[in-house]
Amino acid sequence: MAINWFPGHMHKARKEIAQVMPKVDLLIEVVDARIPYSSANPLVDEWRRDKPMLKILNKIDLADTSVTQNWIDYFQRDSDVRALTLDARNAQQCRELLNRGRKLVTAPRSSGKPITAMILGIPNVGKSTLINGMAGRIIAKTGNVPAVTKKQQRIPLAQDFVLLDTPGFLWPKLWPDGCGYRLAVTGAIKDAVIDYDDIAYFAADFLRQHYPDALIARYRLDAIPDDTMSLIEAIAARRGCIGRGGLIRLSQVSELLIREYRQGKLGRLSLETPRLIEAELSVAEREKAEKDAAKQARIALRQQNKKKTKRR
């Protein structure tokens, strides 16, 4: 899936974060609880090494409770990571994270020096909402603010606690391919660059296999269709997304499905599990290894041919 991720901003953010990292005592990574893997930044582990981290699975009100528990267990296999769920619109819950953070930071600091925490997360994941909740006042603008590079901010949250807001723009995982789709379905990717028909098909296919009952209930279907296109047609018929001659209006039904998923109208539905990600990774790694091997073989062949021509 082709997505424009503003590489200029990416490089700048990457450099700035690496520079301040030595001063950071605690990382607070905010991910979308519906896609905790896809919405994470691929460089966080490289930056973090063994610094303590609070991994915040936000928008918990939209995610599947049992899948979320699987993710918490998965992340907490690393003893420096504490994974927690959050609805960042609840300021009290946000404020409580300060204590969770204090408990995690065990490395000695010079007396009187506040804990420096850095908050990381892709656009629209709920960072500003969380910052405002932790601070107990409006500091950061929330909602659909475009992802532009801003100066790194230092926000005092308590006498012993300072928060660094990430400079610029953080990107999510875009490999394997499913990650890009899931990010688009949740609304993490600007609508202007996505193809609704394409991502709605992806969503319908996933939901048909993993949450058929939610689809049956929401769209009053008699049964779950065997193939995804029939499902989309059935939803279109239920919702009057039908044009002249009885043809379905594909873009209308696609937008409807995506909108209703994002609003939680189909229920609390997660889009990935640790198992699914592991399976996708192993397929993608095998494909990559095959491609690399084929390339090596071509290079070797070319060198042999060169040698032969020289000898002649």
Ligand X SMILES: Nc1nc2c(ncn2[C@@H]2O[C@H](COP(=O)(O)OP(=O)(O)O)[C@@H](O)[C@H]2O)c(=O)[nH]1
Q: Which residues bind Mg ion (CB under 5 A)?
A: 128
Q: Are 185 and 203 a contacting pair, CB within 8 Å?
A: yes
Q: Which does 121 bind (CB under 5 to 8 A by kind): Mg ion, ligand X, none?
A: ligand X
Smaller CB separation from Mg ion, 138 or 297: 138
Smaller CB separation from ligand X, 87 or 255: 87
Q: What is the DSSP letter of 66?
A: H
Maximum alpha-carbon separation in the chain: 80
Q: 176: cis peptide before it, omega within 30°?
A: yes
Name the segment binding ligand X (CB under 6 A); options: 53-61, 159-167, 189-197, 212-220.
53-61
Name the segment binding ligand X (CB under 6 A); options: 55-63, 153-161, 174-182, 215-223.
55-63
Q: Round to whole Å and give the CA distance between 215 and 99.
A: 40
Locate 49 and state its tokens. 């090494």
Parallel, antiparallel or unpaired: strands 161-165 and 153-158: antiparallel
Q: Site for ligand X (CB under 6 A): which residue of 56, 81, 120, 125?
A: 125
Least distance between ligand X and beta carbon 116 (Å): 20
Question: What distance lies between CA 279 and its chain's CA centroid?
Answer: 18
If you count DSSP H runs as helices and E runs as strands, how many of each does the chain have, helices first?
Answer: 11, 6
Name the segment binding ligand X (CB under 6 A); options: 57-65, 103-111, 155-163, 177-185.
57-65
Q: Is 76 helix (H, G, I), strand (E, B) or coil?
A: coil
62 binding ligand X? (CB under 6 A): yes
Least distance between ligand X and beta carbon 39 (Å): 10
Beta-bridge partner residues of 165: 119, 153
Smaller CB separation from ligand X, 60 or 236: 60
Smaller CB separation from ligand X, 60 or 231: 60
Q: Round to whole Å and give the CA distance between 300 and 87.
A: 55
Smaller CB separation from ligand X, 128 or 254: 128
Least distance between Mg ion and beta carbon 216 (Å): 37
Using CB under 6 A as the binding rule, the residues of this chain from 82 to 101 that contact ligand X are 87-89
User: CB neighbours (10 Å) of residue 58?
Assistant: 27
Q: Is 88 helix (H, G, I), strand (E, B) or coil?
A: coil
Helix (H) or strand (E) holding 72, with range, is: helix 65-75
Least distance between ligand X and beta carbon 190 (Å): 12
Name the segment binding ligand X (CB under 6 A); options: 45-53, 59-67, 98-106, 243-251.
59-67
CB-based contacts of 264: which residues, under 8 Å, 6+ apart? 61, 62
Q: Which does 208 bind (CB under 5 to 8 A by kind): Mg ion, ligand X, none?
A: none
Name the segment binding ligand X (CB under 6 A); options: 81-89, 191-199, 225-233, 275-283.
81-89
Residue type (1 letter), 37: Y
Locate 154 and state its tokens. 């230092």
Q: Site for ligand X (CB under 6 A): which residue of 128, 166, 254, 270?
A: 128
Smaller CB separation from ligand X, 38 or 124: 124
Beta-bridge partner residues of 82: 54
Smaller CB separation from ligand X, 165 or 272: 165
Least distance between ligand X and beta carbon 117 (Å): 16
Q: Round to whole Å and give the CA distance between 87 and 102.
A: 20
Residues that bind ligand X (CB under 6 A): 58-59, 61-62, 87-89, 121, 123-129, 142-143
